[in-house]
């Protein structure tokens, strides 16, 4: 199921080999191996505190692993590749008292861009994201969505070969979300490798070539969405029946995974055709669709607390 | 180095564009102008209300003199001629009245007069005891001044001076001594304060000692230390706030994806140093201009400037790296306060020992305190500024120890900064900080 088997001869943008990172007695990342193919969109998912951000920070060499090796853009265990990486942290970090243009010029210069190229790139990106009129305003004057777009520009301004985005869509309205999504995909089309962490499973399903899930510091999923879904079987049925979820309760071999009010997702132990016959005898069936388990479903199966165990979130 | 320089330039640019910098540049001149202006205003707006006071004269002979002297003072010294030629009252009139205790109807004089003071009919009252005139003193000796405004001292001072002059005159008269002769014999002999004479090696002639100037011996050393303190305090504690702010707003995480923690810290330190040197260049330029205008610039030894710059650099690197380390380990300003106290004690230390060292710059007290590295920049500069200065070996030892200490602070600060800048939650204990310093 690992992405390594899917990458074949493709070069790797990031390779982690048996990486472990501890903080005091807490093991944040445990013996993690990962291969991110160049030019792919790689989704990091996992519950809060599972080790996603620590892994991203190790790829950036902000943290150093206690064990294992990390190779980024061909550079092994050094920060030499950092100027070719764009980073959008989980919480936004912009100087509030600086103007948008100055803060972007500063971040571009830190990534090794000369001032003329930076000036051009700033103009290009501000125009692209509809923020040109804000160029000379202080960051503190921007709305949350605008600040998030500026933070994104700071990550892509230097044309990175690897783009690491930690929760890039948090707090965005649908319009800004679409703007950012298309900008990310454009980066990928231009050859950049994109790693992004998210709690939005639908977004991960739509955007990612590969999905990696970390849970309690260990890798629990890694591969293409289709491969992951196949490995979790075809026992999921999406249906809409008269009487809703109540009509399904007590049916032998049927487990309601998600009650979405207008429809339900269930997992059936036997043949779905038998389930359809039983349901038709009980009530009116408006929708019956055999489906693969969604990423959300798989996530819940892995990370849902066992009865009596506290949630991570 | 390019990235360190880039961080430094951005820090510098952010700092000099801020309101805090403009306030910092204007703070000293504004404070001086305010102080001079308020003193001038205070002198021009003296409370000139009449000061009425009672005298209980148990000697029976002093009140007429007090009344006469008060009248003379009110006539001659209370008013001054202004620039426009008009007389302006610049001091209150003193109006004494004799109080006869027999007239109280058996009441206690001080109680009766105290009541009048409370009712603000009098500023106060003086009781001159029976034996005040006696040269031998005795049980009923001396005088007492009663008032409810002890902060006002002009009147009791005048009374003490005037009555004592009269008592002395009476005593000499009683002893049969001529007043004019007494004044001659008791004349003070002033002392001139000079430097040292020397023989000119070229001409062989004796170069006479020059009269010492109070400005050169006191104002120059004190001014140097005060200015150095100002320059350190205007640039280094700010580092704590900027690092803390960047940490709280997660800016440091973005920066650390592009620079190493050491580059970030050194960039900030360099930026703060540049800000401080900009401020000192402005101040030293203005002060030199003022001194030149006043004709006293020649009293400032030219060698002081390079020493000032050198010790400023050492102080900035020492305290800058300490404040940066503190800022990096805290997640909120409340955490920083517990670390600030001991550091502020170190910064303030030279001021606690400033006066004894000014008085005796060659003492072992001065020597050992000025060799204590955190205090060396200010105290050694102070001793160098006071002629003839400390011996060369003390300067060399002080410079060597402080330079080593500076490297130690930067090294330890960088070790703490590296871990602290990404640490979250409660600030670590001093023990944990030590562990961070010596961790690999």
Give the per-residue pLDDT at A313.
Answer: 36
Q: Which residue has the higher pLDDT, A5 or B62?
A: B62
Q: What does the pLDDT read at residue B98? A: 93
Q: What are the structural domains of chain A?
A: 3-229 (3.40.50.300), 234-291 (3.30.70)
User: Which of B 405-424 lie inside 8 A of A, CB atoms?
Assistant: 422
Asked if residues A125 and A48 have their Cβ atoms less than 8 Å apart, the reply is no
pLDDT, tens digit (0-9, with 9 covering 90-100), for A239-295: 888 888 777 777 777 777 677 777 888 887 778 788 888 888 888 888 888 777 777
DSSP three-state, residue B255 = helix
Q: Does A110 contact B6 at a Cβ distance shorter than 8 Å?
A: yes
Burial of B99 (0-12, 13-18, 19+ CB in 10 A): buried
pLDDT for A312 beyond 50: no
Query: Is pLDDT of B269 > 90?
Result: yes
Residue A236 token pair:
């999921």
**Structure confidence at residue B106 (pLDDT):** 58
**Start-end of H helices in B51-120:** 63-76, 109-118
* pLDDT, chain A, mean: 83
B248 in contact with A, Cβ within 8 Å: no
- Residue B179: exposed, middle, or buried by beta-carbon count in 10 A (0-12, 13-18, 19+)? exposed
Q: For residue A269, what pLDDT is reported?
A: 76
Contact B6 A98 (CB under 8 A): no
pLDDT band at A307 (very low <50, low <70, confident <90, very high): low
Q: Residue B2 and residue B430: Cα distance in Å, rounded?
A: 34
| B412-420: average pLDDT | 89
Write down the pLDDT at residue A257: 67
Contacts A85 to B, Cβ<8 Å: 257
pLDDT digits (tens, 9 = 90+) for B147-201: 998 888 999 999 999 999 999 888 888 888 887 888 888 888 888 888 788 888 8
| Token pair of B391 as six digits | 């011996």
Per-residue tokens: B324? 């940066």
Q: Tell me: pLDDT of A5 over 60.
A: no
pLDDT in tens, A9-54: 468 889 999 999 988 788 888 888 999 998 889 988 888 888 888 8
What would the pLDDT profile of B217-246 be if each residue is shown by its tens digit? 788 899 899 999 988 988 888 888 888 888
Cross-strand partners of B163: none
Read off φ and ψ for residue B148, nearest 5 degrees.
-110, 5
Which listed CATH number (1.20.120, 3.40.190, 3.40.1350, 1.10.3470) goes with B48-182?
A: 3.40.190
| Per-residue pLDDT tens digits for A220-238 | 888 888 888 777 777 788 8
pLDDT at A306: 60
Instruction: Tell me the C-alpha distance between B246 and B253, whole Å.
Output: 9
Percent of chain B at pLDDT > 90 equals: 35
- Which tokens is B283 given? 């101040």
Reply yes or no: is the peptide bond before residue B388 cis, omega within 30 of 0: yes
Report the distance separating Cα A41 and Cα A37, nearest Å: 9
Residue A93 CB partners (closer than 8 Å, separation 6+)? A151, B246, B249, B250, B251, B252, B253, B254, B255
| Domain span(s) for CATH 3.40.190 in chain B | 48-182
Cα separation, B350 vs A163, whole angstroms: 52
Query: What is the per-residue pLDDT across A94-150, written as a single tens digit (0 to 9) for each?
Result: 888 889 999 999 999 998 888 899 999 999 999 988 888 998 999 889 888 888 889
pLDDT above 70 as % of chain B: 98
Write the DSSP assignment of B408-429 as a string of letters: HHHHHHHHHHHHHTT--SSPPP
> Could you say which of A63, A89, A111 has the minimum Cβ distance to residue B250?
A89
Residues of B in contact with A93 (CB under 8 A): 246, 249-255
């Amino acid at each position: 199921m690992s992405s390594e088997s899917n990458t074949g001869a493709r070069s790797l943008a990031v390779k982690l080999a048996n990486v472990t990172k501890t903080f005091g007695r807490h093991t944040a990342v445990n013996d993690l191996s990962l291969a991110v193919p160049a030019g792919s969109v790689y989704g990091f998912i996992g519950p809060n505190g599972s080790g996603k951000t620590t892994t991203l920070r190790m790829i950036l060499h902000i943290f150093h692993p206690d064990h294992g090796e990390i190779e980024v853009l061909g550079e092994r265990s050094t920060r030499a590749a950092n100027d070719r990486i764009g980073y959008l942290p989980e919480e936004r970090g912009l100087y509030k008292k600086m103007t948008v243009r100055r803060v972007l010029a500063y971040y571009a210069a830190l990534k090794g861009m000369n001032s003329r190229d930076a000036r051009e790139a700033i103009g290009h990106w501000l125009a692209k994201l509809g923020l040109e009129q804000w160029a000379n305003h202080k960051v503190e004057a921007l709305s949350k969505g605008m600040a998030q777009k500026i933070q994104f520009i700071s990550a892509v301004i230097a044309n990175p070969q690897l783009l690491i985005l930690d929760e890039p869509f948090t707090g965005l309205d649908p319009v800004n979300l679409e703007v950012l999504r298309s900008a990310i995909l454009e980066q990928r089309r231009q050859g950049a490798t994109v790693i992004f962490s998210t709690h939005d499973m639908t977004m991960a399903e739509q955007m990612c070539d590969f999905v990696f899930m970390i849970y309690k510091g260990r890798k629990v999923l890694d591969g293409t969405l289709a491969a992951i879904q196949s490995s979790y079987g075809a026992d999921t049925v999406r249906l809409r029946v008269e009487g809703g979820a109540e009509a399904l309760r007590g049916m032998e071999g049927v487990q309601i995974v998600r009650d979405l009010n207008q429809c339900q997702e269930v997992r059936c132990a036997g043949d779905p055709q038998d389930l359809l016959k039983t349901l038709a005898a009980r009530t009116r069936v408006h929708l019956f669709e055999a489906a693969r388990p969604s990423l959300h479903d798989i996530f819940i199966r892995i990370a849902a607390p066992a009865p009596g165990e506290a949630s991570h979130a | 180095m390019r990235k360190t320089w880039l961080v430094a330039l951005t820090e510098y640019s952010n700092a000099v564009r801020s309101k805090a910098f403009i306030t910092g540049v204007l703070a000293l001149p504004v404070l001086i102008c305010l102080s001079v202006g308020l003193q001038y205003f205070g002198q021009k707006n003296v409370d000139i209300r009449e000061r009425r006071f009672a005298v209980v004269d148990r000697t029976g002979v002093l009140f007429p003199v007090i009344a006469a002297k008060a009248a003379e003072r009110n006539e001659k010294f209370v008013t001054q001629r202004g620039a426009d030629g008009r007389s302006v009252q610049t001091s209150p009139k003193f109006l004494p009245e004799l109080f006869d205790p027999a007239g109280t109807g058996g009441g206690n004089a001080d109680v009766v007069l105290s009541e009048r003071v409370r009712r603000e009919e009098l500023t106060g009252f003086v009781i001159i005891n029976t034996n005040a005139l006696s040269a031998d003193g005795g049980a009923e000796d001396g005088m007492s001044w009663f008032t409810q405004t002890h902060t006002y001292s002009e009147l009791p001072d005048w009374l003490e001076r005037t009555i004592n002059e009269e008592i002395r005159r009476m005593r000499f008269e009683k002893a049969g001594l001529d007043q004019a002769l007494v004044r001659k014999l008791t004349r003070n002999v002033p002392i001139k304060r000079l430097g040292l004479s020397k023989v000119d090696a070229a001409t062989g002639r004796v170069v006479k000692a020059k009269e010492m100037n109070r400005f050169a011996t006191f104002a120059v050393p004190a001014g140097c230390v005060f200015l150095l303190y100002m320059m350190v305090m205007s640039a280094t504690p700010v580092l704590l706030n900027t690092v803390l702010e960047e940490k709280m707003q997660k800016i440091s995480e973005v920066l650390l994806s592009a620079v190493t923690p050491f580059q970030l810290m050194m960039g900030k330190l360099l930026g703060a140093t540049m800000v401080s040197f900009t401020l000192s260049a402005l101040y030293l330029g203005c002060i030199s201009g003022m001194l030149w205008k006043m004709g006293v610039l020649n009293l400032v030894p030219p060698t002081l400037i390079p020493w000032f710059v050198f010790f400023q650099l050492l102080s900035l690197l020492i305290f800058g790296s300490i404040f940066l380390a503190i800022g990096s380990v805290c997640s909120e300003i409340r955490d920083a306060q517990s670390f600030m106290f001991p550091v502020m004690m170190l910064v303030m230390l030279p001021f606690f020992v400033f006066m004894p060292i000014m008085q005796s710059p060659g003492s072992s007290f001065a020597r050992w305190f000025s060799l204590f590295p955190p205090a060396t920049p200010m105290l050694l500069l102070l001793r160098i500024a006071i002629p003839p200065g400390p011996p060369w070996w003390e300067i060399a030892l002080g410079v060597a120890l402080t330079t080593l200490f500076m490297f130690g602070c930067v090294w330890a600060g960088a070790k703490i900064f590296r871990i602290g800048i990404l640490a979250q939650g409660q600030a670590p204990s001093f023990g944990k900080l030590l562990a961070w310093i010596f961790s690999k």
